[in-house]
Amino acid sequence: MKVLIGPNRHGLETCLPDVEKTYPDVEFAHCANRENLGQEIADAHIYLGWLNREHFLAAKRLKWIQSPSTGVDRFLAIPELAAGDVLLTSATGSHGPQMAEHTMAMILAMTRGIRGCVLRQQEHRWGLRELAPQMIELTGSTLGIIGFGTSGRAIAKRAQAFDMRIVAVDLFPTDRPDHVAWLRGTDSLDQLLRESDYVVVTVPFTRGNEGSLGADQLALMKPTARLIVISRGGIVDEAALAGALREGRLAGAALDVTATEPLPPDSELWDIENLLISPHLAGGSQLGGQRILELFIDNLGRFVHGEFPLRNQVDKQRGF
């Protein structure tokens, strides 16, 4: 059996010396160059990394793919993978802390005038009189979380420290923490949008929720509210969001993800003053790679010993 670790930014290949000792009968390999991936993956049974349709079709022996990301929409966009028998597992649980930190950073950037401070620093200008009236305190404000999985719960934990009121919706609303005012099914989404001063989208992108936060849903939000999207682009109707921001029907927004990535240079989103954009960085962390490795090594043991389902095994019909 061959296990291949593909090109990645996490240094996942560092696990090879240890896992080789644990599984001496398994062949382990690392493909550092994406140009060689089609050749290297041809005889692999297990693959950890990202791949495209060409690579997948070349992998005639493949039995299981471990995604390095929580979202698996890129994998399920490959028709043969989505419809076939190759197992797919996500990295759910590996990105919660950093996603939560990024969310709070985006909220604070909007409420504490960080962009204005940076611009005035570049101009060598103090700007106190201009910026002071824009300062917003989070105490007592309501944070609405759409998707209460690992990331959503990590966000709620950190928002609690800011004395925020927290509400959430999820497809499977279970185990409400004491610091969450209410946790309900997605049929309460409209109520969440109406109540919240800040709305965070953490749900995975699926075929069923594309554009599900459109003009009608954004219209339910307070004109003083702000929207933060950290999971996947395509869930929010970006044209509707742009209109709401430009027309003052929404106070601000922050996007770590967009429907098309990289965001095209001619996108209207770049020039919206009350929109903060980061380039899909929320999952980045010096600790994230270690969490992915721990998950993969645990799943490898399960696979070798025939213990199914694997952790985070994806339901391809649901998309997560």
Residue numbers annotated as active site: 232, 261, 280
Which stretches of the chain are DSSP H helices?
16-22, 37-40, 53-58, 73-76, 79-83, 96-111, 114-122, 128-131, 150-160, 189-195, 215-218, 238-246, 288-304
Pull the structure tokens for residue 201: 């989208």
Name the nearest CA neighbour of 79 among 316, 320, 318.
316
Output the furthest CA–CA distance in the chain (Å, rounded).
Answer: 69
User: Rounded to an integer, what distance in angstroms lies between the CA atom of residue 241 and that of residue 267?
Assistant: 13
Between helix 96-111 and helix 150-160 the angle, nearest 10°, is: 50
